[in-house]
Chains A and B, each alone.
Chain A
Amino acid sequence: EAGVAQSPRYKIIEKRQSVAFWCNPISGHATLYWYQQILGQGPKLLIQFQNNGVVDDSQLPKDRFSAERLKGVDSTLKIQPAKLEDSAVYLCASTVSGTGNYNEQFFGPGTRLTVL
């Protein structure tokens, strides 16, 4: 079974530029998450999708971050404009269904973003 796919793996941009990350979850997984992991910290949830609907985006900085999952499968996370503090690893995770108590989440390889 293929795992969660993400691209690109690395991205270096100047501040105020825009960037987009792509995620393809495990086949059949209805729930998709985007996390931000800053060096030395645990992953922090940015947004949770159930199929193509947003369940929670309370920690997404909506003035600069946006995300979509149009057909309930692939998802894109965008940052525009980027700030220095956005330098982090952006992780995508998926689970069969996020509404149960036992939803084990599986992570993709992540995208390491450096903002100069």
Chain B
Amino acid sequence: QKEVEQNSGPLSVPEGAIASLNCTYSDRGSQSFFWYRQYSGKSPELIMSIYSNGDKEDGRFTAQLNKASQYVSLLIRDSQPSDSATYLCAVNSGSARQLTFGSGTQLTVLP
């Protein structure tokens, strides 16, 4: 059973701070990794994808991947109240290249 584990949260940070979200996965054959943001009552929205070890930056978001440690993280710099949402880590693995999702980390950015 391929598993994806995330900090259950909830996580609260003050506005302007860095929010750090973590994810570990069990399948060493996993090739691609995604972060989705899900606002309450809405569907998941893709915000970051990462395929190689190291960091990938996009605006205020940085995804970090360490395949040896089977660990992927998402940093949100200068956090805004509008970043308050549940963040889902998803890992693409298996012969059919399907996504396995973690249960999500709920982030609240306090004004």
Contact B101 A42 (CB under 8 A): yes
Size class of the A contact interface (CB-based, 8 Å) = 20 to 34
Q: How many residue pairs bridge A and B at CB < 8 Å?
A: 62
Q: Are A104 and B49 CB-contacts (below 8 A) given A42-B103, A91-B44, A110-B43? A: yes
What is the interface of chain A mostly: helix, strand, loop, or mixed? loop
**Chain A residues within 8 Å of B31, by CB:** 101-102
- A77 touches B (CB below 8 Å): no
**Chain A residues within 8 Å of B36, by CB:** 107
Restricting to B88-111, which residues have a CB under 8 Å from any CB of A?
88, 90, 92, 96-104
Smallest Cβ distance from A70 to chain B, in angstroms?
A: 21
- A19 touches B (CB below 8 Å): no
Give the segment of A43-51, A61-69, A78-86 that binds chain B.
Answer: A43-51
Smallest Cβ distance from A104 to chain B, in angstroms?
A: 6
A55 vs B94: C-alpha distance in the bound complex, in angstroms?
12
Restricting to A59-116, which residues have a CB under 8 Å from any CB of B?
89, 91, 98-110
In the assembled complex, 20 residue pairs joining A and B whose CB atoms fall closer than 8 Å, in A order, are A41-B103, A42-B88, A42-B101, A42-B104, A43-B44, A43-B101, A44-B101, A55-B96, A98-B96, A99-B97, A100-B97, A102-B32, A102-B49, A103-B32, A104-B49, A105-B46, A106-B46, A107-B43, A107-B45, A108-B43
